[in-house]
Amino acid sequence: MMSNLLKRSFTSIILLMIVYVAIISQIFLLIFLILIGYLILVELFNLQKKILNGNNKRTVIFYLISIIYISIFFSQLYFFIIFDFENKLLILFLLSICIATDVGGFVFGKVFKGKKLTKISPKKTYSGLLGSYLFSIIVFLFFKQNFNFSFNFIILTFLISTISQLGDLFISLLKRRAKVKDTGKLLPGHGGILDRVDGIIFALPVGINLLLFLK
């Protein structure tokens, strides 16, 4: 467990550092988002090949939905980040919740084990669910203490954590149907890019649009 946890933590720290550099440089941010978006699509298409087994009609639909969703998401993310400094801080907040959700679920699931949450992903447990929310609350308290975030953000914290976990389960379902353990091998302790951002690509759009609505 400790070895895997160290790998996951190290990868998360490296990704946060890359995101931080990307946030302060518009050019690097654009290149970074294009690269990540491309890698996500490649891994999604590889899963699709294993799931649909050459069904041309469904393949085209899957490709179109994936390309449109990823393109809109990353375009919105780019313009949201470059708009002003406050947005950059909010993105770091949302990303931190997603990462805390993943790490908290992993740690509590390994330590306390317990009843399985769903058959889709046998490693998901109710204790892991609790850990995900607990670690997310810690992130919220950190931002509240250091950046004077409103206490109302606790609602957003629970929502983003929940969607992040549902996104994780959705990608786990695709992997289960494709009969693969990971979407790739690029990231130590995580597998592919999609294994790392499975919850993020679903939670972040919701968080961004809610914040835009509230402004």
- pLDDT tens for 190-199 read 688 888 888 9
Residue 167 clears pLDDT 80, i.e. is over it? yes
- pLDDT of 92 reads 87
56's tokens: 């041309």
The 10s digit of each residue's pLDDT in 26-73 is 888 888 889 999 999 999 999 988 887 766 788 888 899 999 999 999
- pLDDT above 90: percentage of residues in the chain: 37
**Cβ atoms within 10 Å, residue 60:** 10
42's tokens: 């490649």
Among 84, 205, 96, 81, CA closest to 157 = 96
Residue 1 clears pLDDT 60, i.e. is over it? no
83: Cβ–Cβ under 8 A, 6 or more apart, which residues? none
From CA 212, how far away is CA 112, in angstroms rounded? Answer: 38
- pLDDT of 189 reads 60
Residue 188 clears pLDDT 70, i.e. is over it? no
Task: Pick the more confident residue, 111 or 142.
Answer: 142
Mean of pLDDT values over 148-168: 93
53's tokens: 């087994």
Per the CB < 8 A criterion, the answer to whether 151 and 144 are in contact is yes
Q: Kindly report the average pLDDT of the chain as a whole number.
A: 85
Per the CB < 8 A criterion, the answer to whether 164 and 98 are in contact is yes
Please state the pTM of the whole predicted model. 0.86
Phi, psi of 187 (to 5 degrees): -110, 120
Which residue blocks in 113-190 are alpha helix, DSSP H? 126-147, 153-178
What DSSP letter does each residue of 12-56 carry, written as one string? HHHHHHHHHHHHH-HHHHHHHHHHHHHHHHHHHHHHHHHHHTT-H
What band does 184 get if pLDDT is binned at 50, 70 and 90? confident
What band does 109 get if pLDDT is binned at 50, 70 and 90? confident
- pLDDT of 3 reads 61
Q: Which residue has the tokens 């069904």?
A: 55
Residue 197 CA: distances (Å) to CA of 26, 85, 205: 21, 23, 12
Secondary structure letter of residue 187 according to DSSP: B
Element (H, E) at 98: helix 85-112
